């Protein structure tokens, strides 16, 4: 019976190897994996447990990203918990701060403080943002929606896709297409075959298809995404910009024109503002808007005032940017006699008030892609101000020539500067025509963001049975 003698378990070690030690280690780590690691990786981060959550990302200043603030308000109004992430370089709207459903998470802006070459700084910025943005996204794992503004799409679009595919699989991705990023980059190179432009176009084209929803600011952009980028038509929704209740005609304000202009130090050097007509434009002083056209128009207007009985002008330019000082130097050099030009940088709550003081507005936006629209014109219409706009592919979706403004074009006989001057003179001398386009602009002011958002997106994002919306086809 020697062969059935008990030998214990010692002999098992003769048949073991490293695999056995790994198996024991795995067994011992199961509690850690089950209760700490996997919940941390695949669980929910800093989100509301009682409400649906949407995270909004904008790689720009929140205070001067009105459409993203509008989205935040709309989601919050429908009882979403909103994480609004972006640069905080100016004061965000007070109601955003005060909204209990909205939390602002600052993203640190990476500046070119060492004046590095463009390509070197671009690489440094993208790498730095990758770490910052991925950490931020990871905090919000488990959110119901992530909405990102495009442009800029690099690197946030790629990071958001990786995040929702690996770490937050129940989260839906929304891209809000304000323009095409590669077309903006092409303003620098003016060459669609440039390797960086081609790369960015391919990046947008292929990654854009991963979004669950694509929102566009024009119908033409919607068609472009479907036909050129191959995005599913079912996922693309046109959501045109519309003014919010912040932008009201002067007649509905609780303060007079003179009080507004004095409050923000715009007319301290003007003796009698009643002798002036107010023309307003807004800009970020970047190369995509040629303000030499406005200066040429004002120069021609100033010359005409001396020969006719045209009113003097107060031209208010809101905004700041890299070409601001050059513009101001050009204004000083031209020495206008009947035109006063004021450049002001306004807090977000003051801007609607100043817009409302204008008699005429001017947009020099030409669109790098041809298929976006200037938000500033929407603001002008919100205050019932007729607009003079340059012509480009999508502008007819907003400005109706002779109805709510004038669209100017260059001709063989007239430059764009001369055409802008002619439009100004027409609006200031033909009272019947001015009243017609003023009426058209006032009609535009009645079409508001809340109603448009509910009509287009309410059915998709509602989650309470008491809410009832219809989705416009």
Query: Are residues 158 and 96 part of one domain?
Result: yes
Query: Are residues 385 and 263 part of one domain?
Result: yes
Q: What is the pLDDT of residue 467?
A: 43
Give, in order, the Cα–Cα distances in Å from 320 to each of 64, 89, 284, 317, 434.
11, 13, 5, 9, 30
Query: Are residues 313 and 222 part of one domain?
Result: no
Q: Is 52 helix (H, G, I), strand (E, B) or coil?
A: coil
Query: Are residues 286 and 223 part of one domain?
Result: no
Query: Are residues 111 and 137 part of one domain?
Result: yes
Q: What is the pLDDT of residue 20?
A: 73
Q: Residue 80's domain spans which residues? A: 53-242+450-461
Query: Are residues 153 and 130 part of one domain?
Result: yes
**Bridge partner list, 390:** 408
Q: What is the CATH number of the domain that holds 419?
A: 3.40.50.2000
Q: How many Å is the Cα radius of gyration of the chain?
A: 28
Query: Are residues 143 and 131 part of one domain?
Result: yes
For 151-291, strand residue ranges (E) read 172-177, 213-216, 236-238, 276-282
Query: Are residues 223 and 184 part of one domain?
Result: yes
Is residue 292 assigned to a domain?
Answer: yes
> pLDDT tens, 187-243?
999 999 999 999 999 999 999 999 999 999 999 999 999 999 999 999 999 999 999
Q: What is the pLDDT of residue 466?
A: 38
Is residue 429 assigned to a domain?
Answer: yes
| Biggest alpha carbon–alpha carbon distance for the chain | 130
Query: Are residues 261 and 144 part of one domain?
Result: no
Length of the chain: 473
Asked if residue 423 lies in contact with residue 408, where contact means CB atoms within 8 angstroms, the answer is yes
Q: What is the pLDDT of residue 43?
A: 61
Q: Nearest-CA neighbor of 202 among 224, 220, 228, 184?
A: 228
Is residue 357 assigned to a domain?
Answer: yes
Q: What is the pLDDT of residue 347?
A: 85
Q: For residue 87, how many other CB atoms are within 10 A of its CB? A: 18
Query: Are residues 264 and 238 part of one domain?
Result: no
DSSP character for 426?
Answer: H
CA separation for the pair 102, 91 (Å, rounded): 15
Is residue 471 assigned to a domain?
Answer: no
Overall domain count for the chain: 2
- Name residues whose C-beta falls within 8 Å of residue 375's C-beta, 6 or more positions apart in sequence: 66, 67, 241
DSSP character for 118?
Answer: H
> pLDDT tens, 36-62?
666 666 666 656 567 899 999 999 999
Give, in order, the Cα–Cα distances in Å from 151 to each of 37, 208, 233, 405.
35, 12, 21, 28
Is residue 28 assigned to a domain?
Answer: no
Counting DSSP H helices and E strands in the chain, the numbers are: 17, 13
Is residue 19 assigned to a domain?
Answer: no
Is residue 402 assigned to a domain?
Answer: yes
CA 251, chain centre distance (Å): 29
- Name residues whose C-beta falls within 8 Å of residue 237's C-beta, 6 or more positions apart in sequence: 213, 214, 215, 216, 222, 456, 457
Q: Nearest-CA neighbor of 84 among 457, 74, 161?
A: 74
Regions of the chain short of the pLDDT cut 50 = 1, 465-473
Q: What is the pLDDT of residue 6?
A: 53
Query: Are residues 208 and 313 part of one domain?
Result: no
Is residue 118 assigned to a domain?
Answer: yes
Q: What is the pLDDT of residue 306?
A: 76
Asked if residue 368 lies in contact with residue 405, where contact means CB atoms within 8 angstroms, the answer is no
Query: Are residues 371 and 265 part of one domain?
Result: yes
Q: Is 274 helix (H, G, I), strand (E, B) or coil?
A: helix
Asked if residue 334 lies in contact with residue 299, where contact means CB atoms within 8 angstroms, the answer is yes
């Amino acid at each position: 019976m020697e062969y059935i003698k008990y030998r214990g378990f010692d002999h098992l070690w003769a048949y073991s190897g490293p695999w056995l030690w790994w198996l024991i280690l795995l067994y011992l780590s199961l509690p850690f994996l089950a209760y700490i690691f996997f919940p941390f990786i695949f669980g929910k981060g800093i989100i509301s447990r009682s409400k649906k959550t949407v995270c909004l990302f904008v790689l720009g200043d929140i205070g001067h990203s009105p459409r993203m603030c509008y989205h935040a308000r709309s989601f919050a109004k429908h009882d979403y918990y909103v994480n609004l992430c972006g640069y905080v370089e100016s004061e965000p709207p007070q109601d955003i701060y005060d909204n209990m459903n909205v939390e602002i998470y600052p993203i640190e802006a990476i500046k070119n403080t060492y004046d590095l070459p463009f390509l070197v700084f671009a690489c440094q910025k993208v790498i730095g943002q990758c770490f910052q943005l991925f950490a931020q996204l990871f905090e919000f794992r488990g959110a119901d929606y992530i909405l990102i503004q495009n442009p800029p799409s690099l690197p946030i679009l790629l990071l958001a896709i990786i995040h929702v595919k690996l770490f937050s699989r129940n989260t839906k991705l929304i891209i809000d297409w304000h323009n095409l990023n590669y077309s903006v980059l092409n303003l620098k190179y003016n060459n669609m075959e440039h390797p960086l432009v081609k790369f960015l176009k391919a990046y947008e084209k292929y990654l854009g298809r991963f979004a669950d929803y694509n929102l566009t600011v024009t119908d033409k952009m919607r068609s472009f995404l479907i036909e050129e980028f191959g995005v599913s038509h079912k996922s693309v929704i046109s959501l045109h910009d519309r003014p919010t209740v912040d932008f009201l005609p002067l007649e509905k304000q609780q303060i007079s024109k003179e009080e507004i202009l004095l409050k923000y130090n715009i007319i301290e050097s003007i003796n009698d503002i009643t002798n002036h007509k107010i023309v307003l434009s807004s800009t970020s002083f970047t190369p995509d808007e040629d303000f030499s056209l406005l200066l040429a128009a004002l120069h021609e207007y100033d010359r005409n005032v001396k020969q006719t009985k045209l009113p003097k002008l107060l031209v208010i330019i809101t905004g700041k940017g890299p070409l601001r000082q050059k513009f101001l130097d050009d204004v000083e050099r031209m020495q206008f006699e009947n035109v006063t030009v004021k450049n002001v940088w306004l807090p977000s709550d003051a801007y609607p008030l100043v817009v409302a003081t204008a008699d005429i507005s001017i947009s020099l936006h030409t669109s790098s892609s041809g298929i976006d629209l200037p938000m500033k014109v929407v603001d002008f219409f919100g205050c019932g101000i007729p607009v003079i706009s340059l012509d480009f592919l999508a502008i007819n979706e907003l400005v109706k020539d002779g109805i709510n403004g004038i669209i100017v074009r260059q001709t063989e006989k007239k430059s764009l500067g001369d055409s802008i001057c002619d439009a100004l003179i027409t609006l200031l001398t033909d009272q019947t025509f001015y009243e017609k386009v003023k009426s058209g602009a006032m009609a535009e002011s009645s079409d508001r963001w809340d109603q448009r958002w509910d009509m287009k997106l309410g059915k998709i994002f509602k989650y309470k049975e008491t809410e009832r919306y219809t989705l416009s086809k």
